[in-house]
Amino acid sequence: MDRQNLTLLTDLYELTMMQGYFRNKGENKTVIFDAFFRTNPFGGGYSVMAGLEQLIQYVRELHFGPDDIDYLYSLDLFDDDFLDYLKSFHFTGDIWSIPEGSLIFPREPLVKVIAPIMEGQLMETAILNIINHQSLIATKAARICYAARGDAVMEFGLRRAQGPDAGTYGARAAVIGGCAGTSNVLCGELFNVPVMGTHAHSWIMSFDDELTAFKTYADLFPTACTLLVDTYDTLKSGVPNAIRTFEYMRDKGLPLDHIGIRLDSGDLAYLSKKARKMLDAAGFPQARITASNDLDENLIDSLKTQGAAINAWGVGTHLITAKDNPSFGGVYKLAAIQDSHGQFVPKIKLSENSEKVTNPSDKKIYRIYDKANHKLIADLICLTNEVYSEDRELLLFDPQEPWKRTKLAPGEFTLRELMVPIFEKGRCVYESPSVMDIRSYSLEEQDTLWEESRRLVNPHQIYVDLSKPLYDMKLRLLDEISAAHL
CATH code for the domain in which residue 314 is found:
3.20.20.70
Shared domain check, 385 and 478: yes
Shared domain check, 301 and 170: yes
How does residue 22 score in pLDDT terms, banded at 50, 70 and 90?
very high
Shared domain check, 330 and 248: no
pLDDT at 25: 75
pLDDT at 1: 47
The answer to whether position 252 is within a domain reads yes
pLDDT at 350: 87
The model's pLDDT over 422-464, given as tens digits with 9 standing for 90+, comes to 999 999 999 999 999 999 999 999 999 999 999 999 999 999 9
User: What CA–CA distance (Å, rounded) separates 209 from 472?
Assistant: 75
Whole-angstrom Cα Rg for the chain: 26
The answer to whether position 167 is within a domain reads yes
- Total domains in the chain come to 2
The model's pLDDT over 50-107, given as tens digits with 9 standing for 90+, comes to 999 999 999 999 999 999 999 999 999 999 999 999 999 999 999 999 999 999 999 9
Shared domain check, 331 and 310: no
Looking at 320, 344, 366, the residue that finishes a domain is: 320
Shared domain check, 306 and 167: yes
The answer to whether position 480 is within a domain reads yes
pLDDT at 368: 98
Domain that holds residue 285: 150-320
The answer to whether position 444 is within a domain reads yes
The answer to whether position 143 is within a domain reads no
Mean residue pLDDT across the chain: 96
Shared domain check, 179 and 71: no
How does residue 354 score in pLDDT terms, banded at 50, 70 and 90?
confident
Q: Is the pLDDT of residue 238 over 90?
A: yes
Segment 359-382 mean pLDDT: 97
Shared domain check, 361 and 315: no
The answer to whether position 35 is within a domain reads yes
Shared domain check, 240 and 99: no
Task: State pTM to two decimals.
Answer: 0.96
The percent of residues in the chain predicted with pLDDT above 90, rounded, is: 94
The model's pLDDT over 278-300, given as tens digits with 9 standing for 90+, comes to 999 999 999 999 999 999 999 99
Shared domain check, 359 and 307: no
Shared domain check, 220 and 107: no
Looking at 320, 336, 364, the residue that finishes a domain is: 320
Q: Is the pLDDT of residue 4 over 70?
A: no
Q: Is the pLDDT of residue 271 over 60?
A: yes
The model's pLDDT over 245-262, given as tens digits with 9 standing for 90+, comes to 999 999 999 999 999 999
Q: Is the pLDDT of residue 315 over 60?
A: yes
The answer to whether position 7 is within a domain reads no
The answer to whether position 40 is within a domain reads yes
Shared domain check, 154 and 296: yes
Looking at 320, 346, 365, the residue that finishes a domain is: 320
Indicate which CATH number applies to the domain containing 451.
Answer: 3.20.140.10
Shared domain check, 159 and 119: no
Residues 6+ apart with CB under 8 A from 234: 263, 265, 266, 271, 275
